[in-house]
Amino acid sequence: MPGPIDLHAHSSVSDGTETPAQLIRAAVAAGLGTVALTDHDSTAGWAEGFTAASGTGITVVPGMELSTRFGWKSVHLLAYLFDPLDAGLVAETARIREARLRRAESIVTRIAADYDLTWADVLAQTAVGTTIGRPHIADALVARGHVTTRSAAFESILHPRTGYFEPHYAPGPLEGVELVVAAGGVPVLAHPGTRGREGVIPEDRLRALVDAGLFGLEIDHRENTKGGRERLHELADKYGLAVTGSSDYHGAGKPNRLGENTTAPQVLERLVARGTGSSPFRD
Ligand code: AMP
Ligand code: FE
Ligand code: FE
Ligand code: ZN
């Protein structure tokens, strides 16, 4: 339906603080016409999101934020309208979620040597099937009173410089794009400009992603720097990539508000025309 288009939001299926139904109700209350549900490495919220959207008029674009990794750098890949039962993607996301679980246990073991924190504290911040991540460790640290907010945990105990950090297995960005495309989906690089102009993906590597079917760049995102955005616009123009904008809403887990950045209707139209693995939900 007409109204602002926000193509990046998380529910409690990953590290958002609202259930998929609560998230959809918040999107309706915020006046959005379209919202994409993009939990980390999981499609488990789609059905609940669709059900909650029923009768509200809002359009829900089914999606996911796929974890990929280039060396030590985590690279997030938004994926839309893919087949949620695609065997390749199902197997890879299961592998990533399993690796996330083992890595979270390992981080917690090391933190627990210095702070009063147990694995049960962290599990208490999740539900069955949640894609676990550092935000859940952060929430457990808040519950234990070691820090006051999730963001404060990231700036202190969970900061990579403290030594508790470790990465988890994830496929490379090119493999990620190939998996999404093979599943009929539409891949968009998530917040690719957070590390400044010089930190934007090198052009030859971007070209490989474009050749594999990359659709767009999420340029309008609060964490992209000014220099990063300028470089990304140059690259989008040169390679004919779509430009998206979104909030990356995490409920109470981040200050990001639904609709704070939006995507043009023409871009959504092209995205929907490209996706063949699933359809936007509207009722
Ligand atoms: P992980 O995927 O386990 O490495 O954790 C990364 C996630 O933590 C990202 O998806 C963000 O949602 C969240 N995150 C990163 N930095 C912050 C922060 N400063 N405050 C709140 N959440 C954050
Ligand atoms: Fe997140
Ligand atoms: Fe992300
Ligand atoms: Zn996100």
Q: What does the pLDDT look like over 220-275, one tens digit per residue?
A: 999 999 999 999 999 999 999 999 999 999 999 999 999 999 999 999 999 999 99
The mean per-residue pLDDT over the stretch 137-156 comes to 97
Bridge partner residues of 9 (DSSP): 249
Nearest CA to ligand 1 atom 19: 151
Select the more confidently predicted residue: 152 or 72.
152
Residues 6+ apart with CB under 8 A from 178: 212, 213
- Given this model, what pLDDT does residue 2 score? 87
State percent of the chain over pLDDT 70. 100
* DSSP secondary structure code for residue 201 in this structure: P
Report whether 8 contacts 192 (CB < 8 A).
no
Q: How far is the CA of 276 from the centre of ligand 1 (A)?
A: 30
| Averaged confidence pLDDT in the chain | 98
Tell me: pLDDT of 34 over 80. Answer: yes
Is the CATH code 3.20.20.140 the one for domain 5-93+170-282? yes
Whole-angstrom distance, CA of residue 246 vs CA of residue 257: 10
Pocket of ligand 1 contains residue 151 by CB under 6 Å: yes
- Given this model, what pLDDT does residue 52 score? 98
Nearest CA to ligand 1 atom 16: 154
Spans of all domains in the chain:
5-93+170-282, 101-162
By most ligand atoms within 8 Å of CB, the mutation choice from 11, 254, 256 for ligand 1 is 254
Report whether 42 contacts 16 (CB < 8 A).
no
Predicted confidence band of residue 1 (pLDDT cuts 50, 70, 90): low
Tell the CATH topology of 101-162.
DNA polymerase; domain 1 (1.10.150)
Q: How far is the CA of 258 from the centre of ligand 1 (A)?
A: 17
Ligand 1, atom nearest to 10 Cα: 12
Residues 6+ apart with CB under 8 A from 152: 142
- Domains 5-93+170-282 and 101-162 agree in fold: no
The mean per-residue pLDDT over the stretch 15-20 comes to 98
pTM (predicted TM-score) = 0.98
